[in-house]
Amino acid sequence: MKICVVGYGAMGKIVCEMAKEELAYPVALECEYKTLEETDKAFDVIVDFSNPANLDMIVSFAKKYHKPVVFATTGYTNQEELKIRDLSKYVPVLRSANFSLGVILLNRLVKEITPILKDSFDIEIVEAHHHNKVDSPSGTAKMLLDSAISSTEFVPNYTRVGYSPRKPNEIGMHSIRGGSIVGEHKVLYCGEDEVLSLKHSAHSKKIFAVGAIKAAHFLVNQEVGLYDMEDVLFGGK
């Protein structure tokens, strides 16, 4: 299997280093190949660790040459997410807000625990990242929120300020930005006289590269469709 990595920032470089035995080449403005069309197309799967500005290029190329795509970029708009879903009608696509294997397990726990505790515990989500992260809340925090909402139909609260009391049917979402924090996510279930905390801390960006490469191996053997990291860990569709 040969991987083409789109993006040569911090994560793109790590993926290229960790996948060097399977790396075809990176595609980025600072690299030899600045667009996918400039390449020789001699690769099996695209791993995107760039930014949403490259989405149209990736979508058109993948459709034209029938290349599977692992989307590891965050910060997409709702309209851009729809473009990714549409692409999955033509080629295998894997989209995840986080490629840490530990985070995917955390998300599975949220899906299982929330229905049990929703009637007697308040739910709060806290995420922390380095000061250069541009999107907020993080894609991972949104994923955890979606998993909690799916079994509660609660309403997210992103701006708890002032003197209004907490509503019983809301989930608080809190973002912290500072220093060089790689990534921390915590889901709090706050009951009377007890608190259950589910927390994941990333200590290196390498964990995301490991997951993305594992996703690429999974995706090249799949049929057309939309997949996520739970399919990788717990079985494909």
Told to judge if 64 belongs to the known catalytic residues of this protein, a careful annotator would answer no
Q: Which of 67, 129, 185, 186 is catalytic?
A: 129
Told to judge if 133 belongs to the known catalytic residues of this protein, a careful annotator would answer yes
Where are the alpha helices (H) located in the chain, listed in sequence order? 10-18, 55-65, 78-87, 101-117, 139-149, 206-219, 229-234
The answer to whether 188 and 126 are in contact (CB under 8 A) is yes
Q: How far is 153 from 174, CA to CA, in rounded Å?
A: 19
Q: How far is 186 from 156, CA to CA, in rounded Å?
A: 15
Q: What's the one-letter identity of residue 56?
A: D
The answer to whether 107 and 127 are in contact (CB under 8 A) is no
Q: Which of 83, 133, 174, 214 is catalytic?
A: 133
What does 42-91 look like in DSSP terms, one character per residue? --SEEEE-S-GGGHHHHHHHHHHHT--EEE------HHHHHHHHHHTTTS
Q: What residues are labeled active site? A: 129, 133
